[in-house]
Each structure stands twice: as C-alpha cells, then as structure tokens.
Amino acid sequence: MSMNKNSSEMDTGRRHFLAAMGGVGMLIGFSGTAYAIRDDKVYIKSSGGALVVDLKKCMGCGTCMTTCSLVHHGKASLSLSCIQIEQDVFKPFPQDIQMSTCLQCHDAPCVTACPVNANKASEDFDFVRDIDPDKCIGCMQCIEACPHTPSRVQWNPTTRCAQKCDLCLNTPYMEEQGGIGGVQACRRVCPVGAIAFITELPEQSLPQNYVVNLRNENWAKSGKTIED
C-alpha cells in the first residue's frame, strides 16, 4: 500500500496532537508508523482518502445507509450506517437534506480519545480511521470525541461497540475489496452519484470542506441546478 502523500509530515497547520501531556510511554503498544512526531508533538498520519458529498444532488433515498449496514453487518439498518442522511421534508431545498460522513479527520479526535487503541489509524490500511470491534470496550469516548453533529461514530447496541466509517475495509457481505483503492459501497450504490472519494484531504477537518459540486452539464439537462 502506498504511503499517503498527504500525510501529516507535510501538514504543519494542524495543532491537534496526541499525548501532548506525556512522553512516548503513551505510545507503547501503538503502531508507531501510524504517527508522525514533529516539534515534539505526535500526530496521527492523515488518511489516504475520504468521502465527499454533494448536498444538492442527493435525493434522500437512504440507499447508501442501508447498503453500508448491509455490507458490514448483513442487515439493512439506518442506525448502523456510517453515513447518515438526515432529512426534514418540510424545509425548502437545499436545507431539507444533511449528509453526514466521517471526515477521516486529520489527527482524528476519535482516535486520540480511544483508551485501548481500538479506534485507530493503521499503516496497513493507509491510515483509514477505523475501529477494531474485538478491541473496543464500549466506553463510548470516541462517540463523544467526534467534534461533529451528528457524531460520525455510531453505537451498535447489539455488539455494544462503537463503529465508524472504515471506507468499507471490513465488509464481509461485499464481494469487492473495500477501503482506499477499493470500493466504497455507499459511493458505488448511490443512484445519483452524490458521493465521491478523494485522496487529497482538505486542509482542515470541517464538514463544509467535504461538500463538493458533483453536478455536470448532463445533470442540468434534467432542469436541476448545477450552481454551487
């Protein structure tokens, strides 16, 4: 797997860091290659990719949600989906739909919050932030730590584990290989192509930086706006 060019060594702008309070002892048991130390601060290396969305293209079908839960759990569920599409059908366009994906944050707060390194960024998977259910102790600290609303980490009441978007790395019910360089089920299934995948993450982990315009001239032919 290739090293992500957008890793945190190149990224001097971020000031969230792991273990500011302590020495390298904190890192015992961690995969050292997942971190970069710079100016005495330890950063999680950036994810090799993330999802971006077009809020004006989505039609609110929820297919991405039930497909996400299907490929991971073999069940159709909204609550177990790592992408959350929220709708208020009484609001005017475009405020009627909110699309919430995991931003695969730089120096991800959910990863840093995990006391047992279950929520992690591993070099083997190009630093996708994901949660190992075998290690998760269900403390919910990553759910609280995710700075976005809704929290991009979900609670699975059956396994009593936290879970989050792994870009489809761990998908026993999808034939194709997931993860970076593979298939992301939500992106592939979306009927209107309202979800895309990027390898160059934005400078800052802010939801608005992950909103893009995926509408082209062909979309305009159906009478719908292609303006931002």
Partner 1 sequence: MKKLKGYAGKILHIDLNNMTHHVLPTEDYYEWGGGHGFGAKLFWDLCEDIEAVIDGRDPRNVITIAGSPFSGTNVPSAGGRCEVTNVSVGLIPRNRFTRSNFGGHFSSMMKHAGWDAITITGKAPYPVYIDVRNHHVMIRDASHLWGKDTHETQQFIQENVAKIDVAAGWNAQLDGNDIGRTTQKASVLAIGPAGENQAALGCLIHGAGNAAGQGGNGAVFGSKNLKAISFIGTGSVDIADPAALVKARFKTREFYAVDVDKSTNFTYNGLSAGPAAITFSQMPTEHRASSCHGCVNGCKQRNAIGYGNEVTCQTSVWYLGAVRSYKFGGDAKLSLHNRSIDLTADSLYAGDLANRLGINTYAIMALIPWMQKLHAKGKLGVGKKIDSNLPYEILGSREFADKFCHAIATGTDIGAHFLDGVVPGVQALGHGADVDNGTLDYPYYGMPEHGYDTRAELEWGYATLMTDRDMNDHALNWIYWTVNLAKLSGIDLPIPAKEMATCFVEKMAPYIKPDEVSAMDYASHNMYSEVLARQVQWVNHYGRFWKNSALMCDFRWPDCVNLQREDLRGATGNDEVGEHVWWNAVTGEDISYVDGIERGRRILNLDNAIWVLEGRHRDDAKFADYIYDKKLTYSKLPTFLWPATNEAGEWDYRDMLGRSHCREGVETWKSHYYRAEGWDPDTGWPTRALLESMNMKEVADRLEQVGKLGKEG
What is the C-alpha separation between 226 and 228, in angstroms, rounded?
7
Closest CA to 170 of 202, 206, 207, 129: 129
What is the C-alpha separation between 45 and 61, in angstroms, rounded?
34
For partner 1, give the closer residue by CB, 44 or 64.
64
For ligand SF4, give the closer residue by CB, 124 or 176.
176
Our finding on whether 67 is near partner 1 (CB under 8 A) is yes
DSSP per-residue letters across 23-65: -GGGGTTS-GGGEEEETTEEEEPPPS-EEEE-TTT-----HHH
Contact of 151 with 144, CB cutoff 8 Å? yes
Find tokens 């305009």 and name the residue: 220
Residues 96-135 that bind ligand SF4 (CB under 6 A): 101-105, 108-110, 129
CB atoms within 10 A of CB 32: 12
Our finding on whether 66 is near ligand SF4 (CB under 6 A) is no
For partner 1, give the closer residue by CB, 41 or 148.
148
Residues 149-188 that bind ligand SF4 (CB under 6 A): 152-153, 164-168, 184-186
Our finding on whether 139 is near partner 1 (CB under 8 A) is no
Task: Determine which residue in the list 22, 94, 203, 206 makes contact with partner 1, applying CB under 8 A.
Answer: 94
Find tokens 């290739």 and name the residue: 2
Read off the DSSP letter of residue 124. G
Using CB under 8 A, count the residues that bind partner 1.
63
Task: Determine which residue in the list 34, 51, 53, 58 makes contact with partner 1, applying CB under 8 A.
Answer: 58
Nearest approach, Cβ of residue 11 and partner 1 (Å): 26
Bridge-based pairing of strands 161-164 and 195-198 is unpaired
What is the C-alpha separation between 182 and 40, in angstroms, rounded?
35
For partner 1, give the closer residue by CB, 31 or 79.
79
Q: Which of partner 1, ligand SF4, none is residue 108 near (CB under 5 to 8 Å by kind)?
A: ligand SF4
Q: Interior CA angle at 90 toward 51 and 93, to 5°?
A: 50
Using CB under 6 A, count the residues that bind ligand SF4.
39
* 150 upstream amide cis, omega within 30 of 0: yes
Q: List residues near partner 1 by CB under 8 A.
A: 56-63, 66-67, 69-71, 73-80, 84, 86-94, 96-97, 100, 140, 143-144, 146, 148-151, 154-155, 157, 173-175, 185, 188-189, 191-193, 216, 218-225
Q: List residues near ligand SF4 by CB under 6 A.
A: 51, 58-64, 68, 82-83, 85, 101-105, 108-110, 129, 146, 148, 152-153, 164-168, 184-186, 190-192, 194-195, 205
